[in-house]
Chain A
Amino acid sequence: MADVLVLTEHADGVVAKPTLELLTLAARLGTPVAVVIGTPSAEVVEKLGAYGASTILSADDDALTSSVGAGVVSLLESLVASRSPVAVLLTSTAEGKEIAGRLGVRLDAGVLTDAVDVTLSDGSVVVEQSVFGGSTIVHSRVARGVPIVTVRPNSVAPAESPSSPAVEQVSVSVPAEGGRHAVVTSRSAVTAGGRPGLTEASVVVAGGRGVGAAEKFALIEELADVLSAAVGASRAATDAGWYPHAAQVGQTGVTVAPQLYIACGISGAIQHRAGMQTAKTIVAINKDAEAPIFELADFGVVGDLHTVVPQLIEEIKKRKG
């Protein structure tokens, strides 16, 4: 079977969950080959192997992390040339999509972003996308070149498939053309206060206009923490300055597709629905019985979140013992 290249993400010895999802999808298309930037720790090798990586290609070069986009694109370009993969899979983050786009130009190959499913049909890679905020489902394939596909986190459950991957060092020549690359001069990791990342979280608790004030978001955070959830916010809440802009879920913000989405005090304008309506299960709490969020909610409560949420927190604590 042909290789499927998976661009992995790892930090501090921990492989990102979306990378494990990519390996699971890659196994449907061919032989999963994990591309690791940097030298993988034993834990990273073990984890990638546990989820089906047959080979780990490790590239350790400062140019890969110091240039914006250009280095990783050159690495993948050379790996596509040497290994003729059936597809290249990346995570649908902003950076992943940028790399996919540049690689598509470099190879004149089709790029499909934000896939929610990837299958092999009659020998060609078919990608399912959920577009226009989840209102339309589209199936596509590439017409030329190796399919370059970015996959949304939470699109598939990672499946263990133990193997003992060989680790190969690969080298990459990033042309040091003077001034042609943007250079990262300093970098600080963003942490979500110990909470999972918004796009990869299994559970998201989000607050909107009904929260009423910045300090009231403590209640949203408390509910998120008892559920080990990420915290999101509607545009009304971020525009009001109640919660950081990076947490905005919606058309002009982040798109999430968790197992469970709890919308608190969010009316559910199209702007917001576009970012969350593919969540598997949606719970909504809103004072206004006419709010459009109730058209989406599997379970809706017409009521005041300031009384419902504290009770919900107590109930969850009690049941979790």
Chain B
Amino acid sequence: MRIVVCVKQVPDTWSEKRLDPADQTLDRAAAEGVIDELDTYAVEEALRLKESHDGSTVVVLTMGPAGAADTLRKALSMGADEAVHVVDGALHGSDALATSLVLAKAIEHIGYDLVVLGSESTDARMGVLAAMLAERLGVPQATLANSVEVDGSALRIARITATAESAVEASLPAVVSVLEKINEPRYPSFKGIMAAKSKPTSTLSLPDLGIDASSVGLAGAATVVLDSTQRPPRGERTVIKDDGDAGARIADFLASHKLL
């Protein structure tokens, strides 16, 4: 089984994030870039599937600026076999439609039986990419999985949403997205970190994928940011120390704001 895992470099989850006022894209210099925490669950799930299915390989794929290669190295040191980096200056400012176009072309270029993603990115938080890839690739969408089983060409997942838990079946090839807590991602071992240095890594450009530069990046975006502003600070704040009547004082506050 050939498994492609899509990963994204994002600002550290615990950092403040902001938009670059010049072009309203993510300011990548404002915070340290790391592999998206939610993608580490996808890498881990792919590695577990590989370990339980002889003859499998895990290819980790990212699209992003040169620095995003660090996220590939992290996935390789966890145990992925190969890495592919789509990097091209024209990609700057790509929206979700363009990103899904590029990744779908790259996935077809790599060859796949299963594509695995995290449930969303922790920066843009759109949660659309796995569904978009299923649509572009014309394969089943087995998303929001809390468990994944592959038996031959049969795929089974437990899909969990806010309103329902479903059993979902599909046949490979397919796209899967996994929820946080599907597994506990492993830490790279020293051996894994050393081995990662000699694993095959390749880069692809837009011409390699047969994509016209005008259909991606800010130029090709189907959505336009008109303006962005920092949220104004909240209004008047009151902080009291509990002197034995804090419960009653909260109730007073709620009543005065018509919240009771």
Instruction: Name the A residues within 8 Å of B130 (CB-CB).
Output: 98
Instruction: Name the A residues within 8 Å of B138 (CB-CB).
Output: 180
Is A155 interfacial (CB 8 A cutoff)?
A: no
In the bound assembly, the distance between CA atoms of A98 and B239 in angstroms comes to 41
Q: Among the listed B16, B38, B251, which residue makes an inter-chain contact with A270, where contact means beta carbons less than 8 Å apart?
A: B16
Q: Among the listed A93, A97, A109, A136, which residue makes an inter-chain contact with B19, where contact means beta carbons less than 8 Å apart?
A: A136
Q: Among the listed A99, A245, A283, A309, which residue makes an inter-chain contact with B253, where contact means beta carbons less than 8 Å apart?
A: A283
The bracket for how many chain B residues form the interface is 35 or more
Q: Report B118-156 CB contacts with A as 1/0, cut-off 8 Å.
A: 010011111111111011101111111000000000010
Query: A317 → chain B, closest Cβ, in Å?
Result: 10
Is B162 interfacial (CB 8 A cutoff)?
A: yes
- Contact: A101 with B246, CB < 8 Å? no
Using known A-B contacts A98-B143, A140-B223, A303-B242, determine if residue A190 contacts B127 with beta carbons closer than 8 Å: no
In the bound assembly, the distance between CA atoms of A190 and B144 in angstroms comes to 15
Q: Among the listed A105, A143, A282, A294, which residue makes an inter-chain contact with B224, where contact means beta carbons less than 8 Å apart?
A: A143
Instruction: Name the B residues within 8 Å of A133 (CB-CB).
Output: 17
- Contact: A105 with B222, CB < 8 Å? no
In the bound assembly, the distance between CA atoms of A310 and B226 in angstroms comes to 48
Instruction: Name the A residues within 8 Å of B206 (CB-CB).
Output: none
Instruction: Name the A residues within 8 Å of B222 (CB-CB).
Output: 104, 108-111, 142-145
Q: Among the listed B100, B140, B235, B253, which residue makes an inter-chain contact with A181, where contact means beta carbons less than 8 Å apart?
A: B140
Tally of A interface residues using CB under 8 Å: 98
Query: A48 → chain B, closest Cβ, in Å?
Result: 19
- Contact: A198 with B162, CB < 8 Å? yes
Query: B36 → chain A, closest Cβ, in Å?
Result: 10
Using known A-B contacts A111-B223, A296-B234, A308-B246, determine if residue A183 contacts B19 with beta carbons closer than 8 Å: no
- Contact: B169 with A136, CB < 8 Å? no
In the bound assembly, the distance between CA atoms of A81 and B163 in angstroms comes to 30
- Contact: A301 with B246, CB < 8 Å? yes
Is A30 interfacial (CB 8 A cutoff)?
A: no
Instruction: Name the B residues within 8 Å of A130 (CB-CB).
Output: 231
- Contact: B250 with A283, CB < 8 Å? yes
Instruction: Name the B residues within 8 Å of A100 (CB-CB).
Output: 128
Instruction: Name the A residues within 8 Å of B29 (CB-CB).
Output: none
Instruction: Name the B residues within 8 Å of A112 (CB-CB).
Output: 223
- Contact: A113 with B126, CB < 8 Å? yes
Q: Which of A257-304 contact B (CB under 8 A)?
A: 259-260, 269-271, 278, 281-283, 285, 289, 294-304
- Contact: B142 with A297, CB < 8 Å? no
- Contact: B163 with A184, CB < 8 Å? no
Q: Report A233-274 CB contacts with B as 1/0, cut-off 8 Å.
A: 000000000000110000111110001100000000111000
In the bound assembly, the distance between CA atoms of A304 and B12 in angstroms comes to 32
Using known A-B contacts A140-B225, A245-B180, determine if residue A316 contacts B127 with beta carbons closer than 8 Å: no
Which residue of the partner chain B has the closest CB to A95?
Answer: B161
In the bound assembly, the distance between CA atoms of A142 and B248 in angstroms comes to 49
Is A106 interfacial (CB 8 A cutoff)?
A: yes
In the bound assembly, the distance between CA atoms of A260 and B124 in angstroms comes to 25
Which residue of the partner chain B has the closest CB to A279?
Answer: B234
- Contact: B126 with A189, CB < 8 Å? no
Query: B206 → chain A, closest Cβ, in Å?
Result: 18
4 interchain residue pairs of minimum CB distance: A311-B247, A303-B242, A101-B128, A110-B222
Known: A187-B167, A300-B237, A315-B248. 12 other contacts (CB 8 A): A98-B130, A102-B132, A138-B225, A142-B222, A143-B223, A144-B222, A190-B160, A255-B125, A300-B240, A302-B239, A303-B241, A314-B247
Q: List 8 A-B contacts (CB under 8 A).
A: A100-B128, A106-B135, A114-B125, A130-B231, A182-B157, A252-B38, A259-B259, A285-B250
Binding site for B on A (CB under 8 A): 11, 68-70, 73, 93-95, 97-102, 104-106, 108-114, 126, 130-145, 179-190, 197-199, 203, 245-246, 251-255, 259-260, 269-271, 278, 281-283, 285, 289, 294-304, 307-316, 319-320
